[in-house]
């Protein structure tokens, strides 16, 4: 086996065994999942919360005193 062939195999094996990027990708996937959950919660309850609190604020501060 030539020196270059052995070195190429070593580089390929090192690349396959390297898991440093896998951890970053896993954390990114967790962050995206949490962001989607928060966005779904906010958009899902936003309309009812807005209507509920807006009516209470209007009752507390009438437009024509």
Q: Tell me the pLDDT of the chain (65 aa) as tens digits.
A: 566 677 888 888 887 777 777 788 888 999 999 999 999 988 888 777 778 888 888 888 887 75
Expressed as residue numbers, the domain containing 52 is: 3-60
CA 40, chain centre distance (Å)? 12
Domain count, the chain: 1
pLDDT computed for residue 8 by the predictor: 81
Residue 38, domain member (yes or no): yes
What pLDDT sits at residue 29? 93
pTM of the model: 0.49
Between the alpha carbon of residue 19 and those of residues 15, 23, 26, 32, 33, the distances in Å are: 9, 7, 11, 20, 22
CA–CA distance, 65 with 51 (Å, rounded to integer): 22
In a domain? residue 65: no
Asked if the structure places residue 52 within a domain, the reply is: yes
């Amino acid at each position: 086996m030539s020196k270059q062939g052995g070195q190429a195999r070593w580089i390929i094996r090192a690349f396959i065994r390297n898991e440093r990027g896998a951890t970053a990708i896993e954390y990114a996937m967790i962050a995206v999942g949490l962001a989607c959950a928060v966005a779904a919660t906010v958009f899902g309850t936003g309309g009812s919360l807005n209507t509920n609190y807006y009516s209470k604020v209007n009752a507390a501060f009438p437009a024509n005193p």
